[in-house]
Structures are given as structure tokens and as C-alpha cells.
């Protein structure tokens, strides 16, 4: 796999992972558009690992507070960080159960289709705009309920469909449930940490089982993509968090419509 193509994958992953436009969709489409061989799901997850590092760095204060909060919970004390840990934990069971089933029955690749991407890209654009347009902006992570966290976790199941966008569906649900734009983005990114970490662990196990060779890619290729995607993902997070209150989610919804229509014209 060429260095130029690896750089392209890293840029695509880093820019799109935390924007509500689906990084997985763009990574699946990259070989379709460039004519390269599909990089395979494991290289995709290595790219996501770079994004994981980026979100850990950007939200290092929240991550530190959560770590301290977990220790306090073991001692019977509730801290703001401990409450965030419990909120994120309440959102995780659905995605882990269903995704575990897909991996166990080897169904992950069954959804990697341009038609699926095109349809889901279009279908999930309207809810994103509607939730942002009409959702109240009243709650923060400090005031949101565990019921809200659990419902956002259920919505995250749609992220298993390429093109739906994990950040897109979780931000849509959060906005629909009354979280502010910035807090919706913040909670979505904190939710990404255990999800990406879990899939990263699966990929490392699979890499070890296949001696690091996946679809012509090596572990070195994956590490290059991970490193480059860390930098671009951090920049994308910084831009989103600074601009989301000002621009809202309408630009992303419009992009999804344009991308979905283009995919339909190109592949159908």
C-alpha cells in the first residue's frame, strides 16, 4: 500500500471521525473512488485508533476527571467525573451487545456496500437537521439524566450501518433529547472512547492472528495511518467544538444529502 494512499486514508479518517458525516463511509469509499484495493476493516480500525488518541488528548481534563471519579466511586463517593463515567457507561451496553454479535457471526463486511452507504447517508441527514433545529438547548453533562444517556446509547446502534455516522446519530439523539450543541458533541466524543478502544482491541487480536497482513496492508501501514489520523482528528475536534454553537448541524446535513445523491448517481 503506497504512502500517498495511507496519507489519504489518515486525512479522511481524521477529518471525518468526529464530524456527523461518517468516517467509515468515507474509508469504505476511498478505494472505490481511487481504484485502490479495499484497505480492509482492520486498517479502518487502526485509523480509528489514531482518532482515539486525538480525543483522549483533546478531552484530557474530562478523561482525567473520569479516572479520578472512578476511584472515588469505588470509595463510595460521587464526583462530577464519576457521574460522567456512569453516564457513558449507561450508554454502552446496546452497542457492545449488537456489535459483538456482528463480529461473532462474521457479519461486519456484509454492510460494507456503496448502496448501503448512499441510502443511510441520505436517510440520517433529515433527523440530524430536525433534532438540531427543534431540539431544546437546556441540558449539559452535569444535568443530563441516565435515561437520556441510555437512549443515546440505543441510538448509537445505527452507527453499525456504514454511512449513518456514530457521531452523527449520537449527536442527533442528544440534541433531540435537549442537550446543547456543544454538550451533544462533547458527550458523543466521550462515548467514542470505549467504543473505539473495544474495536481497536479486536483489531489487534485479529492482526496477531493473521501475522499483521490484511488486504495487502502491514502493521507498519496501520501505525502510519494511526499517527497521521491523530493529528488531523485533533484539528477536526478543535474546529468542531469552537464552531458548533455558531454553525449548528445544518451544513453537515446538507453535505450528507449531496454525498448521498452523488453516491447514488455514481454507483447505481
pTM of the shown model: 0.90
Count of Cβ atoms closer than 10 Å to residue 240 Cβ: 20
The residues with which 217 forms a beta bridge, in sequence order, are 214
From first to last of its 268 residues, what are the pLDDT tens digits of the chain?
678 888 888 898 889 989 999 877 787 777 777 777 666 656 777 787 898 999 999 999 999 999 999 999 999 999 999 999 999 999 999 999 998 888 777 776 667 778 888 899 999 999 999 999 999 999 999 999 999 999 999 999 999 988 899 999 999 999 999 999 999 999 999 999 999 898 878 777 776 676 655 555 677 887 888 899 999 999 999 999 999 999 999 999 999 999 899 888 887 7
Which pLDDT score, from 0 to 100, does residue 212 have?
53
Give the residue numbers spanning the domain of 53.
3-267
133 to 18, 153, 172: CA distances (angstroms): 20, 21, 10
Query: How many distinct structural domains can be found in the chain?
Result: 1
Angle at 218 between CA 212 and CA 224, to 5 degrees: 125
Alpha-carbon distance of 237 to 123, in angstroms, equals 25
3-class state of residue 179 by DSSP: strand
C-alpha torsion 193→230→210→105, nearest 10: 40
**Residues 213, 217, 219, 220, CA torsion sign:** positive
Report the first-to-last Cα separation within the chain, whole angstroms: 28
Alpha-carbon distance of 183 to 244, in angstroms, equals 10
- DSSP letter string, 207-229: HHHTTT-BTTB-HHHHHHHHHHH
Amino acid at each position: 500500500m503506497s504512502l500517498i494512499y495511507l496519507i489519504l486514508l489518515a486525512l479522511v479518517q481524521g477529518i471525518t471521525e468526529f464530524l456527523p458525516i461518517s468516517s467509515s463511509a468515507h474509508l469504505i469509499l476511498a478505494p472505490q473512488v481511487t481504484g485502490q484495493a479495499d484497505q480492509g476493516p482492520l486498517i479502518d480500525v487502526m485509523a480509528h485508533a489514531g482518532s482515539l488518541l486525538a480525543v483522549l488528548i483533546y478531552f484530557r481534563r474530562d478523561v482525567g476527571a473520569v479516572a479520578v471519579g472512578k476511584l472515588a466511586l469505588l470509595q463510595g463517593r460521587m464526583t462530577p467525573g464519576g457521574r460522567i463515567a456512569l453516564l457513558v457507561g449507561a450508554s454502552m451496553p446496546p452497542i457492545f451487545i449488537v456489535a459483538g454479535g456482528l463480529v461473532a457471526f462474521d457479519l461486519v463486511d456484509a454492510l460494507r456496500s456503496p448502496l448501503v452507504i448512499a441510502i443511510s447517508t441520505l436517510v440520517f441527514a433529515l433527523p440530524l437537521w430536525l433534532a438540531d433545529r427543534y431540539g431544546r438547548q437546556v441540558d449539559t453533562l452535569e444535568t443530563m439524566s441516565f435515561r437520556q444517556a441510555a437512549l443515546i446509547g440505543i441510538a448509537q446502534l445505527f452507527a453499525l450501518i456504514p454511512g449513518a455516522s456514530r457521531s452523527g446519530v449520537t449527536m442527533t439523539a442528544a440534541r433531540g433529547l435537549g442537550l446543547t450543541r456543544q454538550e451533544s458533541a462533547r458527550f458523543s466524543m466521550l462515548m467514542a472512547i470505549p467504543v473505539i478502544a473495544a474495536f481497536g482491541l479486536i483489531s489487534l487480536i485479529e492482526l496477531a492472528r493473521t501475522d499483521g497482513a490484511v488486504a495487502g496492508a502491514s502493521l507498519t501501514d496501520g501505525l502510519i495511518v494511526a499517527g497521521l489520523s491523530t493529528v488531523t482528528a485533533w484539528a477536526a475536534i478543535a474546529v468542531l467544538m469552537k464552531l458548533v454553537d455558531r454553525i449548528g448541524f445544518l451544513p453537515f446535513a446538507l453535505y450528507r444529502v449531496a454525498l448521498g445523491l452523488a453516491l447514488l448517481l455514481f454507483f447505481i
